[in-house]
Each structure stands twice: as C-alpha cells, then as structure tokens.
Amino acid sequence: MKTNYLFPNRLKFISGVLFVTSSLMLTLYYSVSQFGQFEFKAKVFAIYGNDGFLGESGWFWGVDNSILDEILMSIVITTGVVFAFCKEKHEDELVASIRLRSLAWATILNYSILLFCYLFIYGMPFLNVLNVAMFSQLLIFILLFRYKMYRFYKSAAYEE
Amino acid sequence: MKNNIKVQRAIHNLTQQDLADKIGVSRQTINALEAGKYVPSTVLALKLARLFEKTVNEVFQLEDDD
C-alpha cells in the first residue's frame, strides 16, 4: 500500500527538533512576562485588525505589531505539521492504522478539552485557551502517535 | 480472524525479519499478525498467501465472533 500524502522520513529529525524548541520558546513567550519585552516591532499587513490592542480598526491596511509571536507560531505550526505527518522509517499499513487511530483519538480528546474550557473559563484567561487551541490538536496527536509508535517498536524487541 | 502465519513461516524456514523484508512490512507488523492483534489488508493477505504458495483461505480463517 502506497501513501503519498506524507512528508519524507529525512525531514523527521530536523522538524522534530525545531518543533520542540520553537514551541518551548512560544510557551515561554506567552507565560513569562519578561519575555514579552523582546519586541520586534514591524508594520504588518492586516486583512482586518486594530492598531494596537484597542485602537482604530480597519480592512486591508498596515498595523504596528510585535511580530515575535507570529514568527514563532509560523515555525511551530509548519514544523509541527511536517513532524506529525512524516513517513516512519518502515512505513507499512499497520503504522498507517496506528496513525489514523491516534488522529481520531487526538481530535476527540482535543475537542473535549476545548469544550470543557469553553464552558468553565471566562473573561481574559479564555484568550490563553484560544492561543493554545491554535496548536493543541497537533500537539496531542504528536504525543499520542509517538507514544503508540514507541509501544509498537518495543512490542517485538525480541524474536519469538 | 486467526491465521497460521507462524506455522507457514516455520515450514518455509523464515525468521520474522525475513518474512517482513520479503513482503515489505516491518517485523513488528509480522509480530502483531502472528499474535492476532492486527487484521491485514486484502493486499497483504494475498501477498502472504502467494509467498507461502497457499490460498488465502488456507492461511487465514474466520472466527466465530467475526
């Protein structure tokens, strides 16, 4: 069985390293207030947006923004998608079925958590939930799939 | 579904790794098949049967709960 929608295996290591480091940096950026001081101010194009947090709003215009989180989020999402959907070294149909099952469970788990947060977290802290929701499904899928693959590789460490 | 891949493999004097290499899957997959933890696709079942020079029915059998 041939799968052609997966990224090549040689990208797995580099994307994994980049994903872990960039997501740690993004977590630090969001959670430790001192890191918020590293600002790369730039004029960015907005399809729709406010200038500043509550400034005037408009369509298709330039706004001033600190772009560090945009850069980090771009890296987290692109490397995350590549790492999550890389071919395994020995790609076969059982691996494909483990991947599919992990994806289904990750989706169910992610939306359960999101629904829980939607019902029980209000006000400004909910913005944090929305931030995490940007990549939570990807993260849960990666953790689940890597754990199942670890169990899979360990399942036949010896010849019967 | 049960199978007798382990018996067939012994008859043909193949290790799990040999069999895995011949039909293009990982050794863990052969292990899972022999343990009855995984039901293969039709393509994989046909490949195994062809390698063992048997029909698919001789290698794989339905169980009561299937």
Domain boundaries, chain B: 2-56
Q: Domain B2-56 is in which class?
A: mainly alpha
Residues of B in Cβ contact (< 8 Å) with A156 = 16, 27-28, 30-32
Q: What is the ipTM of this complex?
A: 0.86
Model pTM greater than 0.90?
no
| DSSP class of A8 | P
d(CA B7, CA B23): 17
Q: At what angle do helices B16-23 and B42-52 cross, to 10 degrees?
A: 120
- Given this model, what pLDDT does residue A46 score? 87
**Which positions 25-64 of B are in contact with A (Cβ < 8 Å)?**
25-32, 34, 38, 40-41, 43-44
Could you report the per-residue pLDDT of A11-60, keeping only the tens digit for each? 999 999 999 999 999 888 888 877 667 777 888 888 988 877 777 888 88
Residue B44 has its nearest CB partner, among A93, A153, A159, at: A93
Contacts of A80 (CB under 8 A, 6+ apart): A15, A19, A23, A135, A138, A139, A142
Residues of B in Cβ contact (< 8 Å) with A155 = 28, 31-32
| DSSP class of A122 | -
- Given this model, what pLDDT does residue A63 score? 84
Residue B50, number of CB atoms within 10 A of its CB: 12
Evaluate if residue A90 carries a pLDDT over 80: yes
Rounded (5°) CA angle A49-A124-A67: 40
Q: At what angle do helices A136-155 and A68-84 cross, to 10 degrees?
A: 30
B15:A159 CB<8 A: yes
A101-105, A112-116, B4-8, range with the lowest pLDDT: B4-8
Percentage of chain A lying above the pLDDT 70 cut: 93
Query: Least CA distance to B15: which residue of chain A?
Result: A159
Residues of B in Cβ contact (< 8 Å) with A2 = none
